[in-house]
Amino acid sequence: MTIKYLGHSAFQIVIGDKVLLVDPFISDNGLAKGKVNVDEIEADYILLTHGHEDHVADAESIGKRTGATIVSNFEIASWYETKGLKAHPMNHGGSKVFEFGKLKYVQAVHSSVLPDGTYGGNPGGFVISHDNGILYISGDTALTYDMKLLPMSGLKPDLCIFPIGDNFTMDYADAARASDFVECNTVIGCHYDTFGYIEISKDEAVKHFEERNKTLLLPKIGETLTF
Ligand code: NI
Ligand code: MN
């Protein structure tokens, strides 16, 4: 599995021969300018955790160009279907086997509305069980005790993608607690530095994890990690 960071909470994940794009917010992200070409991004599936602009902004254009299937909650999937995109609706607690593995849509504590004001359902995260392990993408969320349900139900992640920028989501300290809750020691941080509200000290965040014998990975925009 490879994971390429596209800035903010956007990732391109390659599992086997399938390409997953998560929460694409690229063309309006000043930090991604010159580092990611939105017109060249490939995708078979576009996973959307919730409807906020900073997670869905480029989903429609990439979905139309690539023919990718939007995977999200029922309300968001339906909204993209009305725009002519392929979509697979899910809701909390439900799993489905896709070509890349088994995907479960799980709780997030946040809000969700689509860019035009349409109700965006409830926000969520994704747990992907694939051939080489389990990946948990929490989406924008507060620390929540529900995260403990993952290891309790046999979904102990090998790798987590957590927001660490505070203000709208968990900060890095809560992200470290979340990694305790799900019993995982390797976290990729996201949702930081994009806007003034969520600027953080990356050094402090990395040190905080190190002190707990955990690893916080903060790839550069455009960088690809291999697992
Ligand atoms: Ni959000
Ligand atoms: Mn957000």
State the pLDDT at residue 164.
Answer: 98
State the pLDDT at residue 126.
Answer: 99
Tokens coding 52: 């906020």
Rounded to the nearest angstrom, the distance between the alpha carbon of 108 and the centre of ligand 1 is 10
Rounded to the nearest angstrom, the distance between the alpha carbon of 195 and the centre of ligand 2 is 10
State the pLDDT at residue 184.
Answer: 98
Residue type, 39: D
Q: Which CATH class is domain 2-218?
A: alpha beta
Domain ranges for the chain, please list them.
2-218
Rounded to the nearest angstrom, the distance between the alpha carbon of 82 and the centre of ligand 1 is 22
State the pLDDT at residue 195.
Answer: 96
State the pLDDT at residue 37.
Answer: 97
**What confidence tens digit (pLDDT) does each residue in 210-227 have?**
999 999 999 999 999 999
Q: Is 175 in contact with 188 (CB distance < 8 Å)? A: no
Rounded to the nearest angstrom, the distance between the alpha carbon of 55 and the centre of ligand 1 is 7
State the pLDDT at residue 174.
Answer: 99
The distance in angstroms from the start CA to the end CA of the chain is 5
State the pLDDT at residue 222.
Answer: 98
Rounded to the nearest angstrom, the distance between the alpha carbon of 214 and the centre of ligand 2 is 24
Rounded to the nearest angstrom, the distance between the alpha carbon of 140 and the centre of ligand 1 is 5
Closest C-alpha to 55, from 8, 125, 108: 8
Q: Is 129 in contact with 155 (CB distance < 8 Å)? A: yes
Distance CA 173, CA 183 (A): 15
Tokens coding 167: 């203000």
State the pLDDT at residue 159.
Answer: 98
Q: Is 8 in contact with 30 (CB distance < 8 Å)? A: no
Q: Is 22 helix (H, G, I), strand (E, B) or coil?
A: strand
Write the DSSP symbol of residue 198. Answer: G
Q: Is 132 in contact with 159 (CB distance < 8 Å)? A: no
List the shell of residues around ion ligand 2, using CB closer than 5 Å. Answer: 52, 54, 140
Tokens coding 187: 């976290």
Rounded to the nearest angstrom, the distance between the alpha carbon of 110 and the centre of ligand 1 is 7
State the pLDDT at residue 8.
Answer: 98
State the pLDDT at residue 48.
Answer: 99
Measured in whole angstroms, the distance separating CA 201 from the mean position of its chain's CA atoms is: 21
Q: Is 87 in contact with 72 (CB distance < 8 Å)? A: yes
Instruction: Give the chain's residues under pLDDT 70.
Output: none
Bridge partner list, 5: 11
H/E stretch holding 130:
strand 124-130
Closest ligand, as measured to the CA of 9: 2
